[in-house]
Chain A
Amino acid sequence: MAQPLFLLAPPRSYTSLINAMLGQHPEAFGLPELCLFNGRRLKDLWTRETDEISDNTRARQGILRAVAEIYGGEQTKATVTMASHWAAAREDMPVGEVYRELVAKIDPLIPVEKSPAYTIALERMLAMDEAFPEARYLHLTRHPVGQCKSVMKMNWGAFALYVNSMEFQGDRAVIEPQYAWYDLNINILNFLDIIPEHRKLRVRGEDIMSDPPRQLAKICRWLAIRDDEQAVDDMMHPERSPFACFGPLTAMFGNDPNFLRGPTFRPHKVKVPRLDQPVPWRDDGEGLHPRVVELAQEFGY
């Protein structure tokens, strides 16, 4: 059975686009965000984590869309209902087992998945390794300023708040997304310490955006799959993925809404900001934390 390729990155790191690109390779199958390893059993996706900040109803929409597509051949209200029954029948199964069942169904295609929520906790990534001991991991990085700006732009920094990425400044607390950028990347690095070199690769998202054919071909060679012109051309069309659009009303998401709204790749040169300037989401003129700068430099920024 083909082992999955997991993209590991904090959210807003080009993961949706790159996941869909790699998933369009003729030997791969790009999945929506399954979020399966967010819990231990499948029913955990249907359990409300907390009402402190938000609920997790969207987290289950990826698995519903995937099951609808893989088993029903299309994503409609009817196949999503079928997917709900499919999930109900497996609600007590460990998530690794459920995942393996899906992977077997699309075998021999290589499943490609990214759920940024996996990087929130080391335990989630260890569960991935336990379920798929031969899985490969692509660590996608993005410049901290670009990633943090993007996080803050989306729902007033909801994700940063969700992972308690905040700073206390005298008589106020503010959302500070760079802590999440740092801590989630640290989680990834700590996890990847247990993965042998040949099963992990680190790539800067900005490099893929700037020169996708070259970078995607490089990833293909690492995966030992075709890197010819046709395969690369297929990957240049993420919009052809069955998951690169809004799903039926009962499972509309399963990915970043911005990506679902406009999944087509448009070549562009990504500006890489400097690391020693004030950051735009703070009103006190402060810049990046020295440890954030250090890690960004380690990533080649």
Chain B
Amino acid sequence: MVGDGNSPPPWRVPGKRPKLGPIQGDPVTTHPNLDALTPRQRALRTAVIQEFKAKKVKKFLEKQVEHLNTNRQVVEGIKFLFDEHGRPPRNAPLEDIVEQRRHIEYQIRWFEALLLELKNRLVKVKEIEDYAFEALGAEPLDEQ
């Protein structure tokens, strides 16, 4: 490196052994040098990548389906326990949150109806109980 003050000394120059792979350039997939490939080869390369992605997605879905099938009921049960405040995660889709709100409102209405029905039954049972004790001329058991 004579005459060039900025050049590294010869022992600081990396080797120049040639590579073997058909696709060179920046080796990371950000910018592989595809110029040396024919359009057909580029298409074939894209097909390999697509096939790989499809396998990956298929595997992911299989895992998710298996997980959901096994744990669906458990997941339903602990849906509101995802964080310490009992709230769904911050990145939950809005549609899910609306659906959950409707589901809870439905459950509240259902429980309210059930409660009303039980109260009515209780009133009727109490009336029967009162008549019975009146007929016997005795005090109800829990008032003795």
* Given known contacts A121-B26, A180-B21, A156 and B52 CB-to-CB distance under 8 angstroms: yes
* A 178-195 contacts with B by CB, 8 A: 179-180, 182-183, 186, 189-194
The answer to whether A173 touches B12, judged by C-beta atoms less than 8 angstroms apart, is no
The answer to whether B28 touches A193, judged by C-beta atoms less than 8 angstroms apart, is no
Interface membership of A57, Cβ < 8 A: no
- Which of A19-27, A66-74, A159-167, A273-281 is near enough to bind chain B? A159-167
The answer to whether B55 touches A167, judged by C-beta atoms less than 8 angstroms apart, is no
Instruction: Decide if the interface of chain B is mainly helix, strand, loop or mixed.
Output: loop
Closest CB in chain B relative to A197 CB, distance in Å: 11
Interface membership of B27, Cβ < 8 A: yes
- Most B CB contacts (10 A, CB to CB) among A174, A186, A191 go to A186
The answer to whether A53 touches B49, judged by C-beta atoms less than 8 angstroms apart, is yes
Interface residues on A, range: 35 or more
The answer to whether A166 touches B27, judged by C-beta atoms less than 8 angstroms apart, is no
Q: Mark A151-163, 1 if CB is under 8 A from B, else 0.
A: 0000111100111
Interface membership of B44, Cβ < 8 A: yes
Partner of B41, one of A121, A173, A191, A193: A173
Note all chain A residues with C-beta closer than 8 A to B32.
Answer: 164
Note all chain A residues with C-beta closer than 8 A to B18.
Answer: 186
A94 to B47 alpha-carbon distance, docked (Å) = 37
Note all chain A residues with C-beta closer than 8 A to B56.
Answer: 155-156
Q: Mark A113-132, 1 if CB is under 8 A from B, else 0.
A: 00000001110001000000
* B 1-17 contacts with A by CB, 8 A: 8, 11-17
The answer to whether A50 touches B19, judged by C-beta atoms less than 8 angstroms apart, is no
* Given known contacts A167-B22, A173-B41, A120 and B28 CB-to-CB distance under 8 angstroms: yes
* Given known contacts A121-B26, A173-B45, A174-B48, A191 and B14 CB-to-CB distance under 8 angstroms: yes
Given A121-B26, A167-B22, A183-B20; 15 other pairs, CB 8 A cutoff: A52-B29, A161-B48, A163-B21, A164-B21, A166-B23, A168-B22, A173-B41, A175-B48, A182-B20, A183-B19, A186-B20, A190-B14, A191-B14, A193-B14, A194-B13
Which residues from chain B sit less than 8 Å from chain A, CB to CB?
A: 8, 11-23, 26-30, 32, 41, 44-45, 47-49, 52-53, 55-56
